[in-house]
């Protein structure tokens, strides 16, 4: 069972997400907070596996909350959730430690998939935002010159939101091998989680349509 905490200040959005979650047999909503400050107080009490966090909230926004919820020794994974997102905010959230970034206009199925992906250690970004990021590549930085072609390809696939199993199919590798490669990249690039690798892939222009 995946224990989920919802952090959302809009009552209508709260109710909609509660409805999505209640339809899933493997997800349990263990707590609801109206802003980031309340969420930090609630989290130790309800001990969630995954937090669904709105970006724009009073008192403490989703980016700061994400960073604080994912700081070790915490093992909480965060899926950020917003009505109006862009690739800049998406990258901020992923760099803050989010394991996913979705839009409120995404389908209920995609939102549930985002929760499950975060719980399993994968990262899911709204396809709408991936498209926007691809259209507005900034190229603000470049990958290290000694980064291999295989590592770049792996980063690109992570940036597309593919799971380890899906990447294994793309590269004709064992899933366990992909997991090892991802762990190696996390250490080499000094990134806190898989979603931050996805952010780097977008920033470096490694994600192909």
Per-residue pLDDT of 67-93, as tens digits, reads 999 998 888 999 998 887 777 788 888
CA-wise closest residue to 117 among 75, 162, 157: 162
Rounded to whole angstroms, the Cα distance separating 67 from 86 reads 19
Select 2-133's CATH number: 3.40.47.10, 1.10.10.10, 1.10.760.10, 3.40.50.2300: 3.40.50.2300
Rounded to whole angstroms, the Cα distance separating 145 from 68 reads 33
CA-wise closest residue to 17 among 119, 94, 107: 107
Q: What is the pLDDT of residues 95-140, one digit of tens each?
A: 899 999 998 888 888 889 899 989 988 878 887 776 665 555 555 5
Q: What is the pLDDT of residues 131-160, one digit of tens each?
A: 665 555 555 567 888 889 999 999 988 888
Q: Output the six-digit token pair for 198.
A: 């996805």
pLDDT band at 3 (very low <50, low <70, confident <90, very high): very high
CATH 3.40.50.2300 segments of the chain: 2-133
Per CATH, the architecture of 138-203 is what?
Answer: Orthogonal Bundle (1.10)
What average pLDDT is seen over the chain? 87
User: pLDDT at residue 174 above 80?
Assistant: yes
Name the percent of the chain lying above pLDDT 90. Answer: 44
Q: Which residue has the higher pLDDT, 155 or 193?
A: 155
Q: Interior CA angle at 29 toward 24 and 34, to 5°?
A: 135
Residues 20-38 have a mean pLDDT of 94
pLDDT, residue 63, reads: 94
CATH 1.10.10.10 segments of the chain: 138-203
Residue 22 neighbours by CB distance under 10 Å: 11
User: What pTM does this model have?
Assistant: 0.73
Residues 184-201 have a mean pLDDT of 83
């Amino acid at each position: 069972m995946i224990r989920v905490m919802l952090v959302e200040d809009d009552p209508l959005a709260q109710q909609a997400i509660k409805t999505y979650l209640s339809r899933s047999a493997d997800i349990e909503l263990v707590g609801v907070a109206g802003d980031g400050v309340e969420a930090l107080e609630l989290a130790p009490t309800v001990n969630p596996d995954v937090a669904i966090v709105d970006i724009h909230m009073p008192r403490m926004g989703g980016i700061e909350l994400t960073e604080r919820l994912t700081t070790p020794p915490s093992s909480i994974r965060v899926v950020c959730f917003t009505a109006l997102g862009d690739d800049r905010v998406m990258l901020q959230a992923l760099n803050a430690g989010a394991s996913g970034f979705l839009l409120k206009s995404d389908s209920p199925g995609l939102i549930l998939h985002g929760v499950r992906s975060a719980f399993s250690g994968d990262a899911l970004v709204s396809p709408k935002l991936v498209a926007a990021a691809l259209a507005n590549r900034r190229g603000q930085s470049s990958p290290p010159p000694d980064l291999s072609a295989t590592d770049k390809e792996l980063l690109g696939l992570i940036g597309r939101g593919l799971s380890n199993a899906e990447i294994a199919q793309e590269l004709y590798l064992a899933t366990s091998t992909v997991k090892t490669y991802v762990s190696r990249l996390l250490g080499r690039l000094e990134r806190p989680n898989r979603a931050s690798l996805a952010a780097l892939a977008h920033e470096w222009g490694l994600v192909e349509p």
